[in-house]
Every structure is written in C-alpha cells, then in structure tokens.
Amino acid sequence: MNSFNYELDQRLVALREQNLFRELRRVDSPQGVRIEFGGKSFLNFSSNDYLGLANHPALKEASINAVKGFGVGAGASRLISGSIAPFHQLEEALAAFKKTDAALTFSTGYAAALGTITALLGRDDIIILDKLVHASIVDAAKLSGAKLRIFDHNDLNDLERILKWANEKSTTRQSHVLVVTESIFSMDGECAPLREIVALKEKYGAWLMVDEAHATGILGWNGRGLSDELGVSQQIEVKMGTLGKAIGASGGFICGSRPLVDYLVNRARSFIFSTAPAPAAAAAALAGIQLIQTNEGENLRARLQQRVAELKSALHAPRSANESAIIPLILGDEAGAVAAATKLREQNIFVPAIRYPTVARGSARLRITLTAAHTVDDISELVWALKPIPGYKSGIAK
Ligand SMILES: *Cc1c(COP(=O)(O)O)cnc(C)c1O
C-alpha cells in the first residue's frame, strides 16, 4: 500500500474504533414505505419524503414531460447558456407559495445556504447561529469570513445577549448582523420560537434567515411553513427551503424580495459557478409545489399528523402544537445507537443511527421519520420492534 492510501486507511481505522465509520447502502427500489437492499425488503423510517411524493405519478409524469420538451442536461450555468423555462415556472410558483416578490432555486439546499450567506456577509459582518443549525449553514458562515457567534439552542436570552454585543460592536463600523435558525430542527424535530426571534431581530435591527427545510409542505396553511403558521413570514428577510424533502424532488430555494433575488443572481457563487440542475428536477419540484397546495396535499398532511400522533402516543413522547415528522430516540452512546439500528434491520425495519458529526458526541440517536404513506400497522410494527431496545423507555427526549 502506498503512503497516501496507508494514511487514509489509518484514518478509517480510527473512525471504526469510535463507531463513527459510515458506508453507503445500495438500494434497489424507489424511495417509499418499503425499500429494498441486500436482496431484502425493509419498512423504511429513514426518509424525508414526508408526503410520499418522491415516487408520485404526478411528479414522475412532469419530470418525463420535461425530458421530452427540454432534454436532460441544462448545458451550463443559467447565466451562461440561458435560463430554461422550467426554472422560471418553478420560481414563480415558489414566490406565490411563500407570498414573496421573488424566488431563486439552487441545485441543492446546501448550495442555497452556501451561496446566499457568503453573498450577504463578509469580514466586517456578524453571523449568529442557533447551536443546532444544519451543517450547510455552519459551513456557509465559516466561508463568509463573518464573525461567527453561536447561541444555545432555542435560547432567547442567549440570543439577546449576543445581539446586544453585536450592536455595540457594529456601531463603530459599517457592519450587518444576520441571525440564522431553522424552523424545524432536522435531527431533533422541534420548532424554533420564531415569533420571539423575529421580535428580537427587529429590536436590534438584525436580518433574519430561516431554513424551513423540514417544515415546508408540512406546517402552515397549504404547507407554507412554520413562519406562516406563526404569522411572522413577512418579517423574515431570507426564507430558505429544500425541494428534496416533502416536495419530493431535489434542489434548494431562497424566497424573498426582488432586490434579494437580483443580488443573489449577481453574487451567489454556488449559483453562478455551477451548471443548472436538470430541467426535469425543476419540473418535478413544480408538480410537488402544486400538489401540496391541493386537497390531496391537505389529506396527506392530515394522514402524516395522524401517524405522528399514534407513534408519539405509543412512545409516551410529549406532543407539540406544531408537530414535525421527525421523532428522535436519543440513546447517547454511539455504539448503542449502531447496535439498535442493526437490531431493527434484523427485523426488516430501517431506522438510521445518527452520530457525530451530524449530532454532538454522546447524543447519538435513532432518527425516526414518518411519512403520509405509512399505515397504522407500520407504526405498530415499529413500536413492537423498538420495545426491547436498551434505553427505549428513557430515550425519547423530544
Ligand atoms: C437537508 C437540509 C439542507 C440541505 O438541503 P439539500 O437539498 O439536501 O442539500 C439544509 N438545511 C436543512 C435544515 C436540511 O435538513
């Protein structure tokens, strides 16, 4: 083995020793309530396809029609080879959906966070993040060069303390302060106190960006998100979401004012220096955005909420006013979480073990996600299989 491969091999050995080694599992079926891998079928509680749209006939048909009309590849960045119609149709639909003047789509949510935050902030600015925000936001904050401060998860006092400090600092220079949080936290499933955060950012004159990746399509009227449900949507400068979760397709988006979107087209490097996504992805996302605003979408949300209620009741987990579809069973120990996931797989149930660096060390967990496509019997089967897991009784934290 040459020294390059030897070095990497040593690093991999270290990951294995800490129970942090990860590997890809080849799946031979579409996303759905049942997925196939290793020649077996598993009941799937791992997907963010919350409404079961990833394999929905309407999205598939829209995607196939886009291939027929626009081909497969976009050719270049949208600023270089022309911006293909399906992206514009999707952005108009997103702006109408989120009730904003404009929207811009990116190839992924990760690219949306990276491009937007680095465009808005530079060295003279300050960015304030909730401790549990997604890696895409943390990476963007670091890359922006802005001064980075973290407030304790959902802790308004800590946020205010940092906003005060930032205000004192920024009176001396021309600098901006951006607060970023999620509306539903991806690994914990709980909501941010958005009304209170909006009040604080207004009080201190900061900007606010809210990542609604896990609330879009799920919460609020027609699935507009938590900020809509709480009536603060209009006070959020930068609204982010993804198209690959409840919307069932792929991509990321920013909704906001016309100047914001025009500015991002000029300055968001992950948008400018990247080939546009396949037109078929935009067409599928448009069909997804349309579907979640119909009666069918409403029925799917109602079914999802019913399944969440059933599982939470069986697990004696606390209920919340705005319920997400993410239910973590926090086991703590990395090895314990991996063993629990393995035990479930032996019973043909797939629940991912989430470990560092996705969550903090020592807070490893089974992250259960429910979808509208699950049945009452699927939930019972899961609850039955969870019972023998060590830590099951004390594990549910949220
Ligand atoms: C998934 C996710 C992203 C990234 O979106 P992708 O489209 O998967 O790149 C960003 N933020 C949060 C909170 C997410 O859960």
Is 77 part of any domain? Answer: yes
**Residues 6 or more apart from 125 whose CB is under 8 A from it?**
144, 146, 147, 175, 176, 177, 178
Each residue's pLDDT tens digit, 237-283: 999 999 999 999 999 999 999 999 999 999 999 999 999 999 999 99
132 Cα to the center of ligand 1, angstroms? 13
Is 10 part of any domain? Answer: no
Catalytic (active-site) positions = 48, 134, 182, 186, 211, 214, 245
Pocket test for ligand 1, best of 110, 183, 270, 354 (most atoms within 8 A of CB): 110
CATH number of the domain that 194 lies in? Answer: 3.40.640.10
Question: Could you give the CA distance from residue 126 to residue 149 in angstroms, rounded to a whole number?
Answer: 8
Based on the domain organization, do 227 and 355 belong to the same domain? no
Strand partners, 326: 369
CB-ligand 1 contact for 211 (6 Å cutoff):
yes
The string of DSSP codes covering 119-159 is: HH--TT-EEEEETT--HHHHHHHHHHT-EEEEEPTT-HHHH
Is 13 part of any domain? Answer: no
**Boundary of a domain, candidates 232, 266, 292:** 292
Based on the domain organization, do 79 and 168 belong to the same domain? yes
The per-residue pLDDT for 397 is 45
- Structural domains counted in the chain: 2
**Residues 6 or more apart from 334 whose CB is under 8 A from it?**
18, 19, 20, 355, 356, 361, 364
358 Cα to the center of ligand 1, angstroms? 12
Ligand 1 nearest atom to the CA of residue 185, by list position: 13
CB-ligand 1 contact for 367 (6 Å cutoff):
no
Range of the domain at 141: 57-292
369 Cα to the center of ligand 1, angstroms? 15
Question: Could you give the CA distance from residue 114 to residue 263 in angstroms, rounded to a whole number?
Answer: 15
CATH number of the domain that 40 lies in? Answer: 3.90.1150.10
pTM for the whole structure: 0.96
Cα dihedral sign, 226-104-49-45: negative
Question: Could you give the CA distance from residue 59 to residue 293 in angstroms, rounded to a whole number?
Answer: 14
List helix spans (H) across the chain.
Answer: 3-17, 57-70, 85-97, 109-120, 135-144, 156-170, 194-203, 226-229, 258-267, 269-272, 279-292, 295-315, 334-346, 376-386, 392-395
Block mean pLDDT (10 aa), the chain, length 398: 95 94 93 94 97 98 98 95 96 98 98 98 96 97 98 98 92 84 95 98 97 97 96 98 98 98 98 97 98 98 96 90 92 92 96 93 94 97 91 57
CB-ligand 1 contact for 186 (6 Å cutoff):
yes
Residue 305: Cβ-neighbour burial (10 angstroms; 0-12, 13-18, 19+): middle
Is 11 part of any domain? Answer: no
Closest Cα to atom 14 of ligand 1: 213
61, 183, 210, 306, 367 from 97: Cα distances, Å? 22, 17, 16, 25, 29
Based on the domain organization, do 280 and 323 belong to the same domain? no
Residue found under tokens 């319920």: 323
- DSSP annotation of 206 reads -
